[in-house]
Amino acid sequence: MSRSLLDVASVREYLSRRLLCSMETNDKVLALTFDDGPNPHHTPRLLDMFAAKGIDATFFVVGRRVRRFPEILKAVQDAGHEIGNHTNHHIPMSLLPPALLRREIRVCGELIESTTGQRPRFLRPPMGWINDYVLKTIRSMGYEPVIGSIHPQDSRRPGRDKIIQRVRKRVEPGSVIILHDGGWWLGVDREQTLEAVDILTDELLEAGYRFLTLSGMCPRLSPHSPEKPASPGTPPRQ
């Protein structure tokens, strides 16, 4: 059975000492997060679904998609959702030279701010590739790095029921769920994700959970995020 690294407790513990993975709380709150948009086929459908259910979510967007679909990003903002930085081209950050690393962060942030008038608070590293230098750079540029605590690997299209099963197995108060409304190409099929989200949100709302943006769930620094920057480390190898 395919497992996400976030299914391994020791990995979650290691990551949670270095960046935001979840929120330690007894309140039945969750953060739904979506990567790789905005996508013209899937993001608007999620917005309609969430409007009907009273759900807030966080969308980690890619700069090159924002440049092409600014109106969709504005619709995300107008609907009350949070927008996060997912870099300009979705390249593993730990493979980038320092200047290009900073450019990937800066360009996406500028595109978001010029479109919405607001600067993002959070940044999610593409594919979770990080090292000390990446984390130091993210924080030095004014962002809080975040991964999440549940990754059902929906981007691999394992089937609607498998996505649902993987979330059900691990969901708990304060979870941050990683999902995808976009992908590397515009025609990516995220139907399984949308179907799974529709079913899961109904179940979790019925169970008394509330869905908040990351800032709504973590108004201050989370107990699961570092209270000071990680050590500088060394730049990524070239």
The residue segments making up the domain with residue 103 are: 5-217
Catalytic annotation, pick one of 42, 86, 151, 180: 180
- Per-residue pLDDT of 18-45, as tens digits, reads 899 999 999 999 999 999 999 999 999 9
Catalytic annotation, pick one of 35, 36, 154, 181: 35
Is there a domain that residue 225 lies in?
A: no
pLDDT for the residue numbered 86: 98
Cβ–Cβ < 8 Å for 160, 190: no
The DSSP secondary-structure symbol of 5 reads G
Query: What is the pTM (predicted TM-score) of this model?
Result: 0.89
pLDDT for the residue numbered 167: 98
User: Average pLDDT in the 84-106 region?
Assistant: 97
pLDDT higher than threshold 90 for residue 149: yes
End-to-end Cα distance, the chain: 34
**Considering only CA atoms, which of 49, 36, 30 is closest in space to residue 181?**
36
Is there a domain that residue 13 lies in?
A: yes
State the pLDDT confidence band at 8, using cuts at 50, 70 and 90. confident
pLDDT higher than threshold 80 for residue 237: no
Is there a domain that residue 234 lies in?
A: no
Q: CA angle 137-143-144, nearest 5°? A: 105
Q: Is 180 a catalytic residue?
A: yes
The DSSP secondary-structure symbol of 142 reads T
Q: In Å, how far are 53, 70, 221 from 28, measured between CA atoms?
A: 16, 33, 19
The DSSP secondary-structure symbol of 130 reads -
- Per-residue pLDDT of 166-210, as tens digits, reads 999 999 999 999 999 999 889 999 999 999 999 999 999 999 999
User: Average pLDDT in the 46-54 region?
Assistant: 98
Q: Is 132 a catalytic residue?
A: no
Beta strands in 38-136 (DSSP E): 58-61, 82-85, 122-123
Long-range contacts of 157-162 (CB under 8 A, 24+ apart): 157/189, 157/192, 158/2, 158/192, 159/192, 160/192, 160/195, 160/196, 160/199, 161/196
State the pLDDT confidence band at 2, using cuts at 50, 70 and 90. low
Considering its fold, how many domains does the chain have in total? 1
Task: Kindly report the CATH number assigned to the domain that includes residue 130.
Answer: 3.20.20.370
